[in-house]
Amino acid sequence: MQGLPVLTAAAMRAAEQAAFDAGVPEYDLMERAGAAAAEVIWRAGGRRETLVLCGPGNNGGDGFVIARLLRGRGVPVRVAALGESRTESSKRARGAWDGPVESLADAAPAAQLVDALFGTGLTRGLDEKVAGKLDELVCRASLSHSIDLPSGVATDDGALLSPVPHFGTCIALGALKPAHLLHPAADRFDRLVCADIGIPVPSAIHSLAVPDLQAPEPEAHKYTRGLVAVIGGGMAGASLLAARAAAHSGAGSIRHFAAVVAGSGPDAIVHRHVVAPADITEAVSDKRIATVLVGPGLGRDEDGRARMEAALASGHRIVLDADALTLLGEKGRDAIPAGAILTPHEGEFVRLFGDLPGSKIDRALEAARLTQAVVIYKGPDSVIAAPDGRAAVTRGFSSWLSTAGTGDVLAGLAAGRLAVTGDPFRAACEAVWLHGEAARRAGPAFIADDLIGTLPAAIASRL
């Protein structure tokens, strides 16, 4: 199952051009976009007194169409424009609006505010006065909607080119853009809606889909469902947390090899007190192991390095997290086996890959290409990138995930789903979604251990 297509500004223009080349009149797309957005606004705001702000480009053209259609439904609508309309379509849409057009600078607040100032054509930050006026009008409105993108965000990487108000709704037109999912832009609205404008929008990048999970087959047993070996080090709490997450991921059996075993953890996890790295080699030599996880609680000393190398040498599918990524940053990426899953946060990513150009999506895809591994590039937004150019992007589930140990839980989930599916990209996507859904179900102020408790319900919701 795939999420919604994510297109850059250029890719969106190419998709629109392909529609024009196929005979769709340019102005048709603007009417379709305006109608789709007007429907969303109407359902949210009914007949609230509405002010539509129209910019000089086609985003503004959408705004004129929206204003005309809302007025046609009996909504008291005012329009304020930022200068003249510069494109053929927006001039035509302005002409079809036969009401007054106020100047933006003098526009009085309204209960419902529609921002159709700028969309994918924004090339620089808004003029300070314009940004200030937009902020004032959004703050004074009880409902606010941004058309295609909040005015002021950079379409392709989610940067803020000028201060951007916080909107209630963002209505993406035709397809999602990176700025809908990448922070800080993705944090400038609560609800995200994607309005279909009836044109093909091909893309290798999608929003993270809600996964379809399967219960085990009747004849399944603990090895067919996947045996996960979690290799810890001196800080066993982290690897135990990862092991517990793997145990609740749908995998069939978990072994936890650590030099220090903190507490005992659930009896379902087989703990082996393994101190010497050479013993790790023997422990992971079991051919029934489906995936190995190394990193949480590993330690960055010689002992940790030796344990990681034993894991890498095992030949099993592998998830590399936390300290393992730091050690690989020192040791060199070429030790990363193809088909691995890497789970770097920002700092680990830069240590492993340096300062790559482009958006977070571009960087994750380049890292996947360089390593031939699947990369979960974590953060308030997460990008899951595959070596073949596919990527799944999520704007994030809960800011409460910024607490110790949640990375260990995600790593355990990735190892577990890899053991179940055998498919690194699918496993990474399922793990990120389950991690976020478990957090959503845990409510505010949870600790990482609480996520273990809400995982079964998160899985049940997708069976």
Which segments are annotated as binding site for AMP?
A: 378-382, 407
Distances (CA, A) of 402 to 57, 148, 180, 378, 396: 40, 29, 21, 11, 11
Site string for ligand LP7C6HRI, 405-444 (x = CB under 6 A): ----------------------------------------
Q: Which stretch binds ligand LP7C6HRI (CB under 6 A): 53-61, 94-102, 256-264, 440-448?
A: 53-61
Residue 114 CB, nearest approach to ligand LP7C6HRI (Å): 12
Spatial contact of 53 and 107, defined as CB atoms under 8 Å apart: yes
Beta bridge partner(s), residue 444: none
- Between 118 and 433, CB nearer to K ion: 118
Map the footprint of ligand LP7C6HRI across residues 299-328, applying CB under 6 A: none
The verdict on 84 binding ligand LP7C6HRI (CB under 6 A) reads no
Report the alpha-carbon distance of residue 35 to residue 452 in Å, rounded.
45
99-138 residues near ligand LP7C6HRI, rule: CB under 6 A? 118-127
- As measured in angstroms, the least distance from the Cβ of 170 to K ion is 9
What gap in Å lies between CA 440 and CA 210, rounded to an integer?
14
**Binding site for K(+): which residues?**
59, 115, 151
Question: Which residue, 24 or 111, has its beta carbon nearer to ligand LP7C6HRI?
Answer: 24
Asked if 147 touches K ion (CB under 5 A), the answer is: yes
We find the least distance from the C-beta atom of residue 104 to K ion, in angstroms, to be 13
**CB 82 → ligand LP7C6HRI: shortest distance, Å?**
7
Stretch in the footprint of ligand LP7C6HRI (CB under 6 A) among 83-91, 337-345, 365-373, 432-440: 83-91
Decide: is 62 part of the binding site for K ion (CB under 5 A).
no
Q: Amino acid identity, residue 86?
A: R
156 binds, among ligand LP7C6HRI, K ion, none (CB under 5 to 8 A by kind): none
Query: What is the closest distance, in whole angstroms, from the C-beta atom of residue 14 to ligand LP7C6HRI in the complex?
Result: 11
Is residue 297 within 8 Å of 408, Cβ to Cβ?
Answer: yes
- Distance CA(365)–CA(145), nearest Å, equals 32
> Residue 396 is encoded by which pair of tokens?
């994030």
The four Cα atoms 25, 31, 32, 33 give a dihedral, to 10 degrees, of: 120
User: Strands, DSSP E only, in 20-139?
Assistant: 50-54, 77-81, 101-103, 112-116
Q: Which amino acid is at 381?
A: D
Residue 5 binding ligand LP7C6HRI, by CB under 6 A: no
* Min separation Cβ 398 and ligand LP7C6HRI, Å: 29
Q: Which two structure tokens, joined as six digits, stand for 174?
A: 């035709």
User: What is the closest distance, in whole angstroms, from the C-beta atom of residue 75 to ligand LP7C6HRI in the complex?
Assistant: 20
Which residues sit opposite 341 in a β-bridge? Answer: 319, 374
> Among 353, 363, 356, which Cα is nearest to 391's?
363
Counting Cα atoms < 13 Å in the Cβ hemisphere of 147 gives 32
Does residue 223 sit in helix, strand or coil? coil
What is the pattern of x (binds K ion, CB under 5 A) and - over residues 339-358?
A: --------------------
Beta bridge partners of 50: 77, 112
Residue 400: helix, strand or coil by DSSP? Answer: helix
Q: Give the footprint of ligand LP7C6HRI on this chain (CB under 6 A).
A: 16, 26, 29-30, 33, 55-60, 62, 86-87, 89, 118-127, 147-148, 173, 197
Q: Give the footprint of K ion on this chain (CB under 5 A).
A: 115, 146-147, 151
